[in-house]
Structure 1
Amino acid sequence: MTEQNPFKGRHFQAEIILLCVRWYLRYALSSRDLAEMMSERGLHVDHTTVYRWVQRYAPELEKRCRPSLKACSDS
């Protein structure tokens, strides 16, 4: 994802993609659950598409979020 715009050429907007990826990583939701949730909101997304988004964008999100997380103590 060293491109200028990592979402260029995608069918869905970047906000939709990031929302699905964040919900997948944060909550115990499957890709089928997310596809159903998006369907309820009027967006028809296949569960395999959500899974591919997670595979592509999750490592980059982790890399960008990791430095801002606070260190835990050993106590």
Structure 2
Amino acid sequence: MSHFKGKQFQQDVIIVAVGYYLRYNLSYREVQEILYDRGINVSHTTIYRWVQEY
């Protein structure tokens, strides 16, 4: 069973976002900005939820 089933974003996007937050000690808004620069529009609150879940 996949932990990512039913998510709006692909597994890779979630892993990268959580990884940036944890590895580089960035804020949720900074991670949001990095992803936006790469063409992925995701809310900082969504990133917060991902960090809490994973």
Alignment TM class, shorter chain as reference? over 0.9
Q: State the structure with more CA Rg.
A: 1
Moved over 2 A (4+): none
* Other structure's SS at 1:10 match: coil
Question: Corresponding residue for 2:21?
Answer: 24
Unaligned runs of at least 5 residues, structure 2: none
Output the CA distance in 1 between the equivalents of 2:40 and 2:23: 21
Distance in 2 separating the partners of 1:20 and 1:39: 11
Hey, what's the Cα distance between the residues in 1 that align with 2:14 and 2:39? 15
C-alpha RMSD over aligned residues: 0.6
**Deviation per CA, 1:2-44, whole angstroms, max 9, x where unpaired?**
xx11100101000110011111111120110011111111110
For 1:36, the equivalent position in structure 2 comes to 33
Q: How many residues align?
A: 54
CA deviations over 1:43-69 (Å, ceiling 9, x no partner): 100000000000000xxxxxxxxxxxx
2:12 matched to 1:10? no
TM-score calculated relative to the size of structure 2: 0.95
User: Relative contact order (C-alpha < 8 Å, sep 6+): which is higher?
Assistant: 2
Q: Percent identity?
A: 50
The unaligned stretches of length 5 or more in structure 1 are: 58-75
- 2:44 partner amino acid: H
